[in-house]
A = this chain, B = another copy of it.
Amino acid sequence: MLYTCNMQKIENSALPAAWLTEIQRTFMNYDIPEDEWEQFRNRLKGLKIERGEFLVQEGSPPEQIAFILSGIFRAFYLTEKGEERTIVFRDKGKVLSAYSSYIKDQPAVFSIQALEPGLLVYISIEEFENLLRNHPFWEMLKSRYIMDLFIDKEKRERSLLSDDAETRYKIFLNDYPGFIKRISHYYIASYLGISNVTLSRIRRDIKLQNS
């Protein structure tokens, strides 16, 4: 996989209205008032990204908060031994950001990579900070969002502590429907905390159980 950089930026004025409607749907749960949405929308830009490219690089400060229109992305880091560990996958309708590093105002502790060609809409951290300063609503949204992230993490901690590899794989299938066909098993194994060989074994065992 090549790590070239052919990302294509799309200015706010050139964003298709349909994309913005799509993004608005991402935030339905957060009940954004119309006037706040107005402010937000005017700060958005678009990004076309190719398979293998990085939206965020481990060690660099996070630059944007993005929303996925299409494609699959993963957040991952390298262990001391140089092995990859995948923290999370994200696809259409999800937020994509090195959020915790932004919160801590520190360089990203993981990279974010496109696993398929993708379309993103994003707001730069700088613009988001402007929004925060003048619109308390966004401070509220920021903290509600981190609660959601925290709940996800708590769930993952629990699974890593109590479930064996096969169970974790079945939970993955459930949490990420369709991903098993779209993503290299190598990445899935690195998310489950097992080797790709073990993942294959598990898949064979499940097949045998079902026949």
Using CB atoms and an 8 Å cutoff, list the residues of chain A in contact with chain B. 77, 79-80, 83, 85, 87, 100, 103-104, 109, 139-140, 142-143, 146-147, 149-151, 153-154, 156-158, 160-162, 193
10 contacts between A and B (CB under 8 A): A79-B162, A85-B158, A87-B157, A87-B161, A103-B150, A142-B143, A150-B153, A153-B153, A153-B157, A157-B157
CB closest chain-B residue, reference A190: B161
Q: How far is the CB of A15 from chain B (nearest CB, A)?
A: 30
Could you tell me the distance between the alpha carbons of A147 and B60 in the complex, rounded to whole angstroms? 21
Instruction: Give the copy number.
Output: 2
Most-contacted residue by chain B among A103, A109, A143 (CB, 10 A): A143
CB closest chain-B residue, reference A77: B158
**Residues from chain B with Cβ under 8 Å of A139 in the complex:** 140, 143
Could you tell me the distance between the alpha carbons of A143 and B139 in the complex, rounded to whole angstroms? 9
Could you tell me the distance between the alpha carbons of A143 and B148 in the complex, rounded to whole angstroms? 12
Could you tell me the distance between the alpha carbons of A7 and B139 in the complex, rounded to whole angstroms? 39
Could you tell me the distance between the alpha carbons of A79 and B167 in the complex, rounded to whole angstroms? 13
